[in-house]
Structure 1
Amino acid sequence: MKTTGNTILITGGGSGIGRELAQHFFELGNTVIVAGRRMETLVETIAGRDRMHAMILDVEDPKAISDFARRVTAEYPALNVLINNAGIMRREDLTRSRDLRDAEETVVTNLLGPIRLTNALIDHLRGQPNAAIVNVTSGLAFVPLSSTPTYNATKAAIHSYTVSLRQQLKDKVEVIELAPPAVRTELTPGQSAREEYMPLDAFIDEAMALFQKQPTPKEILVERVGFLRWAEREGRFDHAVETLSAH
């Protein structure tokens, strides 16, 4: 992936990993568009930077995605990189009947959102030089955290979808997966203060160094996520599941 001179769209760019990716890619000499539901947080991300722009996008709304795709390609015709980062994470109790709203919203945001936005932009991206799609998954795509079952399932699905997308777009659009470990963000309440999680700045520094390798790895995996990514291959899967559940 070329890391400078791009026009990059990042969903969920108002906070956490999305915000840091946006600002770091900007510093490498890219034009960056951050998209999300709340303009006030997006404005904080761009903070007056001349090559950063903010646009409202509700990834739960199929029509909003279609309208957004038409608008963003009209206003930024050089758009050549899509980073599907927006996501939510909810705890769920599967031991009794419950309201499935959290599970359904998680599927729509984490799985259907990236699929729909990629579909809406793919014809444009295929016509661009140095085009790339980056799907942000999670270490939990490979070893589930039992308290967040639908989140894990959506990330596992996006991992699989990304493999198929990469194969179909071979030699047309580069497809990369970014799979973070547990990082200190506000993805869940209080997560940014959990000392056992990876500091956000350390994660971003390591991830950006991997993005700049040539050729860019098809999976951006910081060292800390290896415990999850390779658990099954190394015969540690059941132990890893129990370890996560214990925490």
Structure 2
Amino acid sequence: MEVETENGGNSDGRLLDFLSKGVSDYLFDVGATSGVKITAELSGGEDMKLVTLPQDRSSGRSILSWQDVYSSAVRWRQISEPCDPVVWVNKLSEEFNSGFGSHTPMVLGQAKVIRYFPNYERTLNLTKTIIKEKLCVRSKADKVIDLSKDDKIEEIMRAETCEELHKIVGEDFWVATWCHSTAFEGKRLEGTRITCIRKPGSLGYDFAIRTPCTPARWSDFDEEMTSAWEALCNAYCGENYGSTKLQALETFE
């Protein structure tokens, strides 16, 4: 069955409204032409209302943000994996404001987490590289721990386990990777955090990857995602896309 709708000029509905209704019962193929007409072929036999995307009147192009695209994946996951919580972190008001984040342990006490432990050696080496570059780490209380003295950097580079690393630093600590901004030249964004925490007593160490999500961090990466999405849309909607002319392809990014 083919469903077709024309843009009447006043529609501000979203394609995602259609996608969220069809994910559980239908296989569909959706195509859009300049935000004016959208068609869909459904494998089901029921009629479904198909709405058009909001449109930028000045350019004639449909307005679809990166969050709209990811919302479709979120809805799909919520339906297909009802036991897994899939939410927008920035909508968890209290947790978001206090710095809610994901926690992916590779070593949990004395146990190796089978699913993530294959990344242990790589993460340990990355931790040492970051410490060598910055000459410091952050404590559990978010204070700077200076490691530039007493040959500690040399000892850290020789460490082969997270336990040895923790003993050299002397307390629980974390370091952060960095991402270079593509939206603002020269800007660096905090990536994921690598934490090393000693368990009480003699129960080993927690060596994990944590990704905090605070309002400031969300704002930074929202700008990055918006910029990247606009660049992708411009590339696919530009005059050079699909061209076989060498000169046109040289300017295509």
Bin for the TM-score computed over the shorter chain: under 0.3
TM norm structure 1: 0.22
User: Greater relative contact order: 1 or 2 (C-alpha under 8 angstroms, separation 6 or more)?
Assistant: 1
Which structure carries more strand by proportion?
Answer: 2
Q: Which of 1 and 2 has greater Rg? A: 2
Which structure carries more helix by proportion?
Answer: 1
